[in-house]
Amino acid sequence: MDLATYMTANDLDDAAMAAKIGRSRVAVSRYRRKLEIPSPGTIRMIVEVSGGEVTANELLQIEPAGEAAQ
């Protein structure tokens, strides 16, 4: 699940997610819109806060094997 979908499903805005992971609202907005890849520490926090629903691969924008565009 991507960060935007997770946040919508859990009724979290950028400010609420930012408070949970200790980052700014602007940073969360950039992660959510896939304009910036979070640091390894931030990725770890997002994965932890989401209970693993948002994965490191998703945050790193890595497609699972077999899902690449043909």
Whichever domain contains 42, its CATH number is: 1.10.260
Q: Assess whether pLDDT exceeds 70 at residue 1.
A: yes
**39, part of any domain:** yes
> How many other CB atoms are found less than 10 A from the CB of residue 64?
9
Q: Assess whether pLDDT exceeds 60 at residue 69.
A: no
**54, part of any domain:** yes
Show the tokens assigned to 8: 């919508």
Q: Which pLDDT does position 7 carry in this prediction?
A: 98
Number of domains in the chain: 1
**68, part of any domain:** no
Instruction: Read off the pLDDT of residues 6-57 as tens digits, 9 standing for 90 and up.
Output: 999 999 999 999 999 999 999 999 999 999 999 999 999 999 999 999 999 9
Q: Assess whether pLDDT exceeds 70 at residue 68.
A: no
Q: Which pLDDT does position 29 carry in this prediction?
A: 98
Task: State which residues form the domain around 42.
Answer: 3-59
Within 8 A by CB and 6+ apart from 15, the residues are 25, 28
